[in-house]
Amino acid sequence: MVKSRKTAPAKEQEIIAAAASLFKKKGYRATTLEDIAAAVGMLKGSLYYYIRSKEELLYLVVRDPIRQAYNKLEEIVNSDAPVTAKITQAIANHVVVFHQHYPHIAVYLHDFHNVMQKLQDNSIETPKEYRQLLAQLLQRGVDSGELRSDLDVTVASYAILGMCNWMYRWYKPEGHMSAEAIADVFTKLVLEGLQQST
Amino acid sequence: MVKSRKTAPAKEQEIIAAAASLFKKKGYRATTLEDIAAAVGMLKGSLYYYIRSKEELLYLVVRDPIRQAYNKLEEIVNSDAPVTAKITQAIANHVVVFHQHYPHIAVYLHDFHNVMQKLQDNSIETPKEYRQLLAQLLQRGVDSGELRSDLDVTVASYAILGMCNWMYRWYKPEGHMSAEAIADVFTKLVLEGLQQST
């Protein structure tokens, strides 16, 4: 039922937002459907009109942000810009999607193992495919001479993702530093390193 | 009882190792004391001779690796080496402790919120203090001119920790790449960046 609609109606969106917030705060496993129903002023029984299970709700919480992040990264990787510009855009995309979809992405990063099967069943890109796309981009940079020739693109792709993903532990959407400013610090670190050039 | 001993006896070590492995595999919340007792061939009742609760067991799983990582980082930061050498050592320390204490550190990184209070009660350094130590090191590098003067040391410290900590999602201790080799890739990325120098 849910999957056939393009955009979920208002009540469903409210349920998804409440679930994202509770999953982030209490953890996915510790959150019950009763908690979620209470947060939107419903009884658990009425919730079943909108969603079938907590598992489905987790999927609905993470699906759109993941799709958006992956599709945009694919677009960046396949564009004509120089590799260094693409890396800059890729990091900005990752951090900005994180900000726009907070706490949804935080829930995904902590509890992705609970939703992986459902993502695969629905042909949604997994973290593995996302990382491979990033590694592909780095490899093109090595091939073109823009990046260091000795670069281990697999480990470097994990390093960049780790840097960005770890934000889910410390980033406050209402904090004094914007997502864009954080992306700038990350990008300069990744491209130029911390060392003062001599 | 447990805390007064310097080194836990063999059976206790076995229980702690089994708990670390199960917490990593099934998740802390999903693992029961029955699971842990079964893994070491005991009844749950006998387990209580060694530990008081699952919470205490989580604490015992993470305590020593955290202490080791923090104490070593403190030693590095307070040594007389140049800041770039200290950053190299700090990243190597982090990655190598991760390897030596796998899966204990992975459990800590995923479930630290379940053990934070007990760490504080026992004066064990928290992730916040670890990160502040790293930020302090970066600040000294900025002050001495070894690191870029425009560096945001707070975000950079989160970036480096994120890169290292995220390993808990992808690192395989039995994998083809050693912890030392991964630390080298991270360090070069952090100090010099990915870009080919012109």
Q: What is the mean pLDDT of each run of 10 residues along chain B (198 residues)?
A: 56 94 92 96 93 93 93 97 97 95 91 87 90 97 95 97 95 92 97 84
How does residue A113 score in pLDDT terms, banded at 50, 70 and 90?
confident
pLDDT of residue B113: 83
Of A125 and A134, the one with more pLDDT:
A134
What pLDDT is recorded for position B198?
Answer: 61
Average of pLDDT values for A13-42? 94
Confidence category of residue A68, pLDDT binned at 50, 70, 90? very high
* Cβ–Cβ below 8 Å for A166 and B167: no
Tens digits of residue pLDDT in B27-81: 898 899 999 999 999 999 999 999 999 999 999 999 999 999 999 999 999 999 9
* pLDDT (tens digit per residue) in A49-60: 999 999 999 999
CB contact under 8 A, A165 and B170: no
Query: What is the band of A94 on the pLDDT scale with cuts at 50, 70, 90?
Result: very high
| Residues of chain B contacting A149 with CB distance shorter than 8 Å | 196
pLDDT at A196: 81
Q: What is the pLDDT of residue A154?
A: 97
Q: Is A156 on the interface with B (CB under 8 A)?
A: yes
Instruction: Quickly tell me which residue has 């009660």 as its tokens.
Output: B121
Residue B1 has what pLDDT? 45
Average pLDDT for A140-166:
96
Distance CA(A109)–CA(A66), nearest Å, equals: 10
Q: For position B6, what pLDDT does the model report?
A: 46
Check pLDDT > 50 for residue A5. no
Which of B163, B192, B198 would best serve as a mutation to test chain A binding (most A beta carbons within 10 A)? Answer: B163
CB contact A128 to B (< 8 Å): no
Given CB atoms, is A195 within the 8 Å cutoff of chain B? Answer: yes
Kindly state whether B129 is in contact with chain A, defined as any CB-CB distance less than 8 angstroms: no
**In whole numbers, what is the pLDDT of chain A averaged over residues?**
92
Domain architecture of chain B: domains with CATH = 2-192 (1.10.357.10)
Query: pLDDT at residue A112 above 80?
Result: yes
